[in-house]
Homo-oligomer: A and B are copies of this chain.
Amino acid sequence: MTAHTIRYYEKIGLFKKINRNDSGHRDFSLEDVTWAEFIKRLKDTGMPLDQILEYANLREQGQHTAGSRMALLEEHAMALERKIATEQHNLNKLKDKIRYYETLKDIS
């Protein structure tokens, strides 16, 4: 995650209240870093930024949104599971095609 990307994430609202030091530079707390890592994990699982933003907004509202956040994560986990299954299916199809070409090569 580059500095540019972090500033961009702050701009779109993924980071809410990053402290600044005397000279106006961002001063990331441990909590900020943990949150950044969590954003990265969600990103790595293919969650689009607007959904992560939704999660971030819930998170800002406090503890009483924990349920909704959980639901969001569970929904995303299921979507990811479906996506992996589809990709596995496509991979098998592709391998079939490759094997088919290999048999052709054996014959000709």
Contacts and interface: CB of A to CB of B under 8 A. Distances in A.
Contact of A87 (B66, B87, B93): B87
A47 to B, nearest CB: 9
Contacts of A88: 84
Interface in A69-108: 69-70, 73-74, 76-77, 80-81, 83-84, 86-88, 90-91, 93-95, 97-98, 101-102, 105
15 contacts: A44-B86, A45-B90, A66-B101, A70-B98, A70-B101, A70-B102, A70-B105, A73-B94, A73-B98, A74-B98, A77-B94, A77-B95, A80-B87, A81-B91, A84-B91
Q: Chain A binding site: helix, strand, loop or mixed by DSSP?
A: helix
